[in-house]
Structure 1
Amino acid sequence: MTAALGGCGVTGGSGDVTLRLVAADYGDSAANSSQKYWDKLVKEYESKHSGVKIDVTVYSWNDVDRKVKEMVDAGKAPDMAQIGAYADYAAKDELYTADDLLSISTQADFASQLATAGQVKGVQYGMPFAASTRLLFYNKTLFANAGLTPPKTWKQLAADAAALKARGVKYPYALPLGPEEAQAETMQWMLSGGGGYTDTVGSYGIDSAQNVATFDWLKDDLVGKGLTGPVAPGNLNRAAAFSAFAKGEVGMLNGHPSLMKIAAKKGVKFGMVPMPGSGGRSSTSMGVADWMMAFKKNGHAQQVGDFLDFVYDEKNVLDFSREYDLLPVTNSASEVMSSDERDADLKPFLDELPQSELYPVGKTSWAAVSAAVKKRIGQAVGANGSPAATLSQLQATASTAESAD
């Protein structure tokens, strides 16, 4: 009913319709490229919908957001884009709302915090497509050799790191605050200290007392004591930290599901626990989502909505999540995954999802804030760094970007 109403007046009448989708590649080789996933899905859909063709182009994560922006700027927006951020397009009124497109049952099936993260001013434009959470990975062999148990508090984490350092471990705790993905490690630590990028009413609170205390602790109790390895955190990227973990050189680090495969391939025995907090296990985990959106420019709301209802069918969501070690964005697929033996590896991450917090992706200012965090946050824990000064600078950047919205 919703999809049919959304389509009124914009479907362009009868006849064949070709919908263009630009999507990101989650594969790590040609063998498991996302193009293969979409080709199979589209073939099945088209076999049941003779008047609709779906043309899918897949780009690497390095290029996909830029490619979509170039297409939109040139007046050639695709019908759908599956990329990293939606808020800029929503702010310019270029997107359909979820209400315009999806059946009520599809909308109701989205995990609630993911659906909320897809909203701008209470209206959902971003449809979650893939989700992930983070856990603390630890090297079981290094821990056993040092007689350690996985930490539940920051104090225990620092003590474990000191014991690992004494045994010659290269990176007792790997702290990747380099420009690749520093915004993730930063948020994980902020949350574990009771803070975050935003406050309880959604305003930026980067320089809050909790966040300053968190980075003071990181600077003084981890980095300052030589417990984060030979590369300064501001120069250590996530990919390099993951690679070092797979070589057995890291005692502990924050990781997402793809690290399981990377480490297992190299024969590293690892365990995973929730992120330690300042006084006990952190009550909030970091969640990440990628987004599907539909542009209004070409119309075809009814056909787009019908195709997306198919995309979000339980079977298709499960197929995608299992292929790429990601978490389902729907409740129905999550319930299946929670109880299915073949998904046991992902269950610890799935358990974290309900209490996870996502980046403030509904803010058009987030892209600028994220870029500033990647560039500067490493300075906060450097030898001559000042957490209070760095976080204050980032808050000023956030306030400026927010007022420019």
Structure 2
Amino acid sequence: MKKLSLLLFIMMVSVLIAACSNSTNESNTSTEATKTAKTETSEPVEVEFWHAMSDTHEKWLEDATAKFNAEHENVTVKLVNQGSYGDLSQKLLAAAKAKTSPTIAQAYAEWMTDYNQNNLVVDLAPMINGENGFPADQSYEDISEVFRNDNTFGDKILGLPFNKSSRVLFYNKKYFEDNGLTPPTTWDELAADAKVLTKEIDGKKVVGMGFENGMGSEFSLWVEQAGGKFVDEQQGKVLFNSDAGLNALTFINNMLKEGSARMAGEDGYMSGPFTRGDVAMYIGSSAGIAYVAKDAGDMQWSTTTLPKGVEQAAPFQGTNITMFADSSEAEQTAAFEYMKFLISPENTVDWAKTTGYLPVRESAQKGSDWTSFIEANDPYQAGNEQYAYGFIDVRLPGSFAMKTAIQAELDKMLYDNATPAETLKAMSTKAQEALDQAK
């Protein structure tokens, strides 16, 4: 069947090329009409999209997909919710072994590295660079560089960005204003403000700074800001056992030991203590803005860009959409149209407004629709300001195991009084072991 499909595909392309060569003098309107026709299929095609969205995020995806399906007569995108990201990852691996992969799925870049090594995913570069690639007014190069980098593997492009977020500093505006403070812009200011705000406020015991329990997954943030390097992705070598890494751990440890900072602990996530007024500020995902807004009530709060260490650095995280190679040519063509649709300027802004994730296109980030929205909704501004110094997570196989190993050793400093130097050495050793085992 695949050979027959390929033959039909080649014949169709030949006819279309001939048609184009005979119409070079036609108007731009005719050219666009021909281009649109080529993206349609005369036979019904179903695209299966596995995802891990829930609540408001899933509702937006359902509505957008319904709109796409209505606009494409012979294409049906079928959404399949696979639970958590962990569940999605396991189900994608099982499907790959059984050769029952969906057409497309959400995937972190580290998953895509593994898929690429096993020839499971499609290189989108030929589609992007082909005649049915992105329209001129929303080109591939319009996608922010940090997100293009996340999907680029050598000379291959293995996905398009979807739900992308950055870490930002959430802060209680009233606490800051009442104490004559402005949001911190440096580590020194962060530490100083945390001390001032660690006290009883309005009859409530407040701690100045909060750290998420999963700090191991964002340790790269602190290393990069301290002027160091986290991992050499080309060599698969851990680099954070350095002066910069030690400075980062010492900075965090000092705040915790003196009591001006706390972990989320039994609360699970720091958004809980923050919205209760128990913590004056914390670093969290911009995608958490909607959740904070939901629970904050009439509390005065906002976000600001990450305080700077030696360097300014902000991690950008989240999944991409990748395409699996055992799908048919017709499915791949239809899926690519859907992927482009999801990140059109209009849709990426609407997605960002609804969810707290960030627009993935530069034109969208600078357009009046988004800029007027963030002017009226202050907490959304910080993430938008960090593109210039954003970086992406390590994409090596074993990256998740590496972060788990880092967290296990980090907990010994956070809860068992291990020194920063001891912790850094152990973290580095375990992290390297995790990456080596995945090779």
- State TM-score, norm by structure 1: 0.84
Q: Deviations over 1:340-371 (max 9, x none)?
A: 3223332321111231112112x112122122
Match of 1:4?
none
Give the aligned partner of residue 59 of structure 1: 82
Rate the CA distance shift 1:252–1:139 in 2: closer, same or farther, 3 A.
same
Change in CA separation of 1:68 and 1:10 when aligned onto 2, cut-off 3 Å? farther
**Mean Cα deviation higher: 41-50 or 343-352:** 41-50
1:196: how far off? 4.3
- Equivalent of 1:141, from 174, 182, 199? 174
Q: Which one of 118, 124, 131 corresponds to residue 98 of structure 1?
A: 124
Question: Which one of 425, 430, 438 corresponds to residue 392 of structure 1?
Answer: 425
Instruction: Mark the runs of 5 or more structure 1 residues left unpaired by the alignment.
Output: 1-6
Deviations 1:305-337 (A, max 9, x none): 233222222222222222211101122322226
Matches within 5 A, 1:192-341: 192-199=225-232, 203-219=237-253, 221-229=254-262, 233=263, 236=265, 239-264=268-293, 265-278=296-309, 282-300=311-329, 301-336=332-367, 340-341=371-372
Q: Once the two structures are aligned, what percentage of the paired residues are identical?
A: 19
Give the CA deviation at 1:199: 5.0
Higher mean displacement: 347-356 or 202-211 = 202-211
CA contact (8 A) 2:290 2:355 kept: no
- Structure 2 CA distance for partners of 1:96 and 1:224, relative to 1, 3 Å: same
Q: Is the 8 A contact 1:86 1:291 kept in 2?
A: no
Deviates more, 1:289-298 or 1:378-387: 378-387
In the aligned structure 2, how far is the partner of 1:74 from the partner of 1:253? 44
Aligned partners of 2:197 and 2:280 also within 8 Å: yes
1:76 to 95, 100, 109: 100
The total of aligned residue pairs comes to 383
Counterpart of 2:180 in 1: which secondary structure? coil
Question: Which letter does structure 1 place at the counterpart of 2:117?
Answer: A
RMSD value over aligned CA atoms?
2.8
Name the CA shift for 1:381/1:239 in 2 (closer, same or farther; >3 Å): closer
In the alignment, what sits opposite 2:386? Answer: 352
CA 1:147–1:37 in 2, change beyond 3 Å: closer, same or farther?
A: closer
Does structure 1 residue 175 correspond to structure 2 residue 220? no
Q: 1:266 to 1:389 in 2, by over 3 A?
A: same
Taking the aligned partners of 1:270 and 1:212, their CA distance within structure 2 comes to: 32
Q: Secondary structure at the match of 2:238?
A: coil
The one-letter amino acid of 2:119's match is: D
Distance 1:87 1:183, change over 3 A: farther
Q: Which residue of 2 aligns with 1:114?
A: 147
- Once the 2 structures are TM-superposed, how far is the Cα of residue 383 of structure 1 from its aligned partner? 5.1
Q: Distance in 2 between matches of 1:149 and 1:45?
A: 45
More helix by share: 2
Decide whether the 8 Å contact of 1:21 with 1:80 is kept in 2: yes
* Residues 53, 152 of structure 1: alpha-carbon distance in 2 compared, 3 angstrom cutoff: closer
Contact 1:80 1:294 in 2 (8 A): yes
**Structure 1 residues 187, 48: CA separation in 2 closer, same or farther (over 3 Å shift)?**
same
SS at match of 2:367: helix
The 3 A distance-change label for structure 1 pair 320 and 274 is closer
CA distance in 2, matches of 1:354, 1:42: 31
Describe the SS at the equivalent of 1:349.
helix
> Per chain length, whose mean CA-contact separation is higher, i.e. which structure has more relative contact order (CA < 8 Å, sep 6+)?
1
- Compared CA separation, residues 285 and 55, structure 1 to 2 (3 A): same
Report the Cα distance in structure 1 between the residues aligned to 2:223 and 2:267, rounded to whole angstroms. Answer: 17
Give the secondary structure class of the aligned counterpart of 1:268.
coil
Aligned to 2:20: none
Cα separation, partners in 2 of 1:308 and 1:155, compared to 1, 3 Å: closer
The question of whether the paired residues in 1 share the 8 Å contact of 2:409 and 2:426 is answered with: no
Q: Which moved more, 1:62-71 or 1:242-251?
A: 62-71
Q: 1:123 aligned to 2:156?
A: yes
> Under a length normalisation based on structure 2, what TM-score does the superposition of the two structures give?
0.78
Is the alpha carbon distance of 1:142 and 1:251 closer, same or farther for their aligned partners in structure 2, counting shifts above 3 Å? Answer: same
358 and 9 in structure 1: CA distance in 2 versus 1, 3 angstrom threshold: farther
Structure 2: distance between partners of 1:197 and 1:39: 38
Q: 1:47 to 1:263 in 2, by over 3 A?
A: closer
Deviation, structure 1 residue 223: 1.3
Letter in 1 for 2:252: L
Contact 1:284 1:357 in 2 (8 A): yes
Letter in 1 for 2:383: F
Does the 8 Å contact 1:152/1:276 carry over to 2? yes
